[in-house]
Amino acid sequence: MHVVPDPAAAVAPAIAFDDFMKVDVRVGTIVAADPFPQARKPAYRLTIDFGPTIGRKRSSAQITEHYTPDDLIGRQVAAVVNFPPRQIGPFMSEVLTLGFPDADGKVVLVTPTVGVPDGGRLF
């Protein structure tokens, strides 16, 4: 996760369904989670397995308030997989892991409530 938007911000302008379909949101399983001490804000470096078609991708995620690295291993998460990679300090983040702010603005991950195949696309 790169930017935490203001939860009180106005609703974004309407878009066409075709615009929504351009954003490729997939589910994957976290296979590695490591502290990221070089990040400006507390974060983890994640490796997420999106299945055989997409493979494993890396992400920087500011999720240290609610999760430990051990809590994250094996957890399925949603991520945008078709943004260009982004340099976060010495780390190249390849996907945007998705979450919502809690009442204090801390990130809560978007996860399926039932296990689904890695690589499944949000619709």
CATH number at residue 85: 2.40.50.140
The total number of structural domains that make up the chain: 1
Residue 6 confidence (pLDDT): 62
**Phi and psi, residue 44, nearest 5°:** -120, 155
Residue 63 falls within a domain, yes or no? yes
Residue 86 falls within a domain, yes or no? yes
The residue assigned the tokens 């994250």 is 72
Confidence of residue 9 (pLDDT cuts 50, 70, 90): confident
Residue 8 falls within a domain, yes or no? no
Residue 3 falls within a domain, yes or no? no
Report how far residue 76's alpha carbon sits from residue 109's, in angstroms, rounded to the nearest whole number: 9
Full domain range(s) for residue 29: 17-109
- Range from 33-42, 47-56, 107-116 carrying the lowest mean pLDDT: 33-42
Residue 70 falls within a domain, yes or no? yes
Q: What is the pLDDT of residues 81-97, one digit of tens each?
A: 999 999 998 999 999 99
Residue 120 falls within a domain, yes or no? no
Residue 93 confidence (pLDDT): 96
Residue 21 falls within a domain, yes or no? yes
Cβ of 6: how many Cβ atoms within 10 Å?
8
Residue 8 confidence (pLDDT): 62
Residue 123 falls within a domain, yes or no? no
